[in-house]
Amino acid sequence: MNRSHPQAALSVILPTADDYSTIRLTVRALRAQTAQHRLELVIVVPNDHPQVVESELAGFAGVRIVNAGPMQTSNRSRVAGIRAATAPIVALAEDHSFPDPDWADALITAHQARFAVVGPVLRNANPRSMLSWANLLLEYAPWLEGTPGQEMKDLPGHNSAYRRDLLLAFGEDLDELFEVEAVIQRELVARGHRMLLEPRAVTNHLNFSRFKPSVMLRFNAGRAFAAYRTTGWPMAKRALYALASPLIPMVRFVRIARFVLQSSTYRFLMPAVLPALAAALIFDGIGELTGYITGPGDSPKTLGSIEFNRMRFLDAGDRRDLQSRLDELEAETAATALAG
């Protein structure tokens, strides 16, 4: 299946924890890219039998299937894809994030200015639920659609595009550093590299909209972030952050609430989103406290296990909407097969 092309400008790294079926909607969005002929699609799978639908992979400059072995963490799979890619820029994609057609072209163009990382802005792909909005705001508020293009010191994880040579320069340390993308971005900035938010690159992000899975997500995300951001810190500094961690949810709540109130685009969420946002921040904060004290524990593996197949973590209405899109894609593929 592997085929490459020397003129690929951007490799899109798209992992799956099980098989091709869970990434089909993202592949569909990538096939609709205006720059599709300049894209190398790198699909990272956990075994030798991804059962891809080859007719849905036509039109790319190259397609590579990478067997990364049984899923450990989602970012370990991404690093395997980065190492196997051939284009000078690698963009991270998700099975629950669906780029607009100009996304790839905007990332390629922005990288011509030699930025180390270029990030997209995000739009809510399941905006009915306030819990979906709370999770999106908590993870991506600084980079939501409507934010102007600007240089930044951090960019959206799992969705940004990197210069591949700069990542490979970390050698074997890349696997560990990439566990929390904020850490690798911090390292790149420390080395004097620049990062850009590009508002012409837009992706539609599907968010958890069920409560119990959201609690699991928020606790483990907070724990992993705290543990990896403090790598190499002296115990006294870790203890200080642990003591201050109960204040962090309050500070973040005020910051996000202010952002929503001051935004003409997102002001409609107030005050309905506040209870869900408060709950999400509390569990994220408990996770952060745990990470400062005890380290990451099993959080990276837990996050890896819930990173994929987002259908499981959507409420009934969101599941119906997503299933409808999958049924539509299935019908399109069947029609193409009959026509062929």
The pLDDT value given to residue 1: 58
Query: What's the one-letter identity of residue 264?
Result: S
Residue 173 and residue 250 share a domain: no
In a domain, 324, yes or no: no
Residues 171 and 274 in one domain: no
How many domains is the chain built from? 2
CATH number at residue 67: 3.90.550.10
Domain that holds residue 226: 211-306
Q: What angle (nearest 5°) sits at the alpha carbon of residue 54, between those of residues 49 and 56?
A: 120
Q: Along the 340 residues of the chain, how does pLDDT read in single tens digits?
A: 566 556 799 999 999 988 898 999 999 999 999 999 999 999 999 987 778 888 899 999 999 999 988 877 888 899 999 999 999 999 999 999 999 999 999 999 999 999 999 999 999 999 999 999 999 999 999 999 999 999 999 999 999 999 999 999 999 999 988 988 988 999 999 999 999 999 999 999 999 999 999 999 999 999 998 988 887 888 888 888 889 888 999 999 999 999 999 999 999 999 999 999 999 999 999 999 999 999 999 998 899 889 899 999 999 999 999 999 989 988 888 887 777 6
> Do 241 and 184 sit in the same domain of this protein?
no
Considering the domain architecture, whether residues 284 and 250 belong to the same structural domain is answered as yes
| Domain end marker among 207, 242, 267 | 207
The confidence score (pLDDT) of residue 95 equals 95
User: 195 forms bridges with which residues in the sheet?
Assistant: 117
Let me know whether 28 and 65 are in one domain: yes
Place of tokens 């959080």: 299
184 within a domain of the structure (yes/no) = yes
Supply the pLDDT for residue 5.
Answer: 55
What pLDDT shows up at residue 340?
A: 63
Closest by alpha carbon to 58, among 336, 277, 338, 311? 336
Question: Of the candidates 159, 178, 207, which is a domain's last residue?
Answer: 207
Domain assignment of residue 326, yes or no: no
Q: Look at residue 340 and tell me if it is in a domain.
A: no
- Domain termination residue (choose one: 207, 228, 257): 207
